[in-house]
Amino acid sequence: MTTTEASPQSLREALHRVGYIADEALATTLWLAGSLQRPLLVEGDAGVGKTALAQALAKAEGRRLVRLQCFEGLDLSQAAYEWNYGRQLLAIRRAESGASTADDAALFSQDFLLQRPLLQAIVSDEPCVLLIDEIDRADEAFEAFLLEVLADWQITVPELGTLRARQVPRAVLTSNGTRELSDALRRRCLYHWLDYPTLAREIAIVRATLPQAEGLLVEQAVAFVQRLRREDLGKTPGVAESLDFVRALHQLGHQRLPDEPAALAHVLACLLKTREDLFQFGVDGPGVRLLQVLEGRKAGGDGVAVKHATPLP
């Protein structure tokens, strides 16, 4: 059942119901994108929930999700459409042997067209969500091609003519900002910068995803991850990492966040993904920094100091 929400508030609630906790600004932008029929460009660090947003939107509105994962060298034949040459050849052979008739018009009809994600989204009879993931990985040439699709919701196939969207899809583009996107593309989209969630929002996200985990554990673990994000890390943990972290602690039977760095040693692999970060905070390394983050103190001495009865090792 496809529904289009009547107001940003109801969209926000619908997203909440499918487990995506959006703040008010994001819900407003998302609703507006639907209302103005404009694509939405979401930028932000890896792991803040850009892709999950499109998936949740599809779920909340009961639409089909069509996903195009971008990569370097992505071309039209992989993104939009391609002729099914094998079938065309077979049809020609069959015509040669007299089993059937084949003319040019029949060979270049919809039957011989392989639909790739963009075309699928355009010709889909039911409304869908089109997710164009990591657009910054695709080449500039592909970006230019997207302009026609995103501005006019149509794709031109030279042999067939222009195919227009039957239902305008809800398009969500995501980017990690590794390459500057062209102004032309940016101007066709609404824009939202997705930041790491606040403490309260992240707790709500973890609770919605892992309702079985203990409340105290969730609060303490998320507060720990939030403190860790303020440290100088090579790869800052995202929401997905927080979820993994809490899930791991829960499955290991913890009711609350362990006080001892040693108890965290193996679970930290859920959060820290580079060797340098693991060395900096892991128990094999200096070890002191991890204790500081656990206790909520800032490295270097400034910031809020929490007195601890036992001296540091």
Partner 1 sequence: MNTAPLPTAQPLAALAGFAAHLREHGFVVGVAEQQAMVRAALALPGALQQPARLGEAWRSIACHGARDWRRWPDLFQRYWQPHRSTGSMRVSGQTRPPRDIRQLVQQLHDSLGEGGTKPGATAADTALTDSPAEGDALNRHQGGASRTEALHDRSLHEWLPQDLALLQQWAERIAARLRRRLTRRWHAHPQGRRLDLRHTLRRSLATGGVPVAPAWHQPRRERPRLFILVDVSRSMETHAQLFLRIARAFVVAAQARVFVFHTRLAEVTPLLQRDSGAVQEKVNAVTAGFAGGTRIATSLADFHRVHARAQLGRRAQVWVLSDGFDADEPQRLAEELAAVRGRGARITWFHPSPAVPASAAMAAARPQVQRFVRLASLRDLATAADLID
Q: How far is the CB of 274 from partner 1 (least distance, A)?
A: 11
Footprint on residues 154-183 left by partner 1 (CB under 8 A)? 176-179, 183
Q: Is 33 in the site for partner 1 (CB under 8 A)?
A: yes
SS3 content of the chain, % helix, strand, coil (to 5): 50, 15, 40
Closest CA to 116 of 153, 150, 69, 160: 69
d(CA 23, CA 27): 6
Q: Is 187 in the site for partner 1 (CB under 8 A)?
A: yes
Footprint on residues 197-226 left by partner 1 (CB under 8 A)? none
191-194 own/partner pairs: CB under 8 Å, 24+ apart: 191/40, 191/41, 191/43, 192/25, 192/26, 192/29, 192/30, 192/40, 192/41, 192/42, 192/43, 193/42, 193/43, 193/44, 194/26, 194/42, 194/43, 194/44, 194/48, 194/49, 194/50, 194/53
Q: Is 4 in the site for partner 1 (CB under 8 A)?
A: no
Q: Is 135 in the site for partner 1 (CB under 8 A)?
A: no
Using CB under 8 A, count the residues that bind partner 1.
Answer: 38
Q: Specify the residue, 164 or 266, whose C-beta has the smaller distance to partner 1.
A: 164
Q: How far is the CB of 194 from partner 1 (least distance, A)?
A: 10
Q: Is 193 in the site for partner 1 (CB under 8 A)?
A: yes
Q: Specify the residue, 114 or 210, whose C-beta has the smaller distance to partner 1.
A: 114
Q: How far is the CB of 145 from partner 1 (least distance, A)?
A: 15
Q: Which residue has the tokens 């091609």?
A: 145
Q: How far is the CB of 69 from partner 1 (least distance, A)?
A: 17
SS3 98: coil
Give the contacts of 112 (CB within 8 A, at least 6 positions apart): 83, 84, 87, 88, 91
Footprint on residues 62-121 left by partner 1 (CB under 8 A)? 72-73, 77, 83, 85-86, 89
Residues that bind partner 1 (CB under 8 A): 6-9, 24-25, 28-29, 31-33, 35-38, 40, 43, 45, 72-73, 77, 83, 85-86, 89, 139, 176-179, 183, 186-187, 190-193, 232
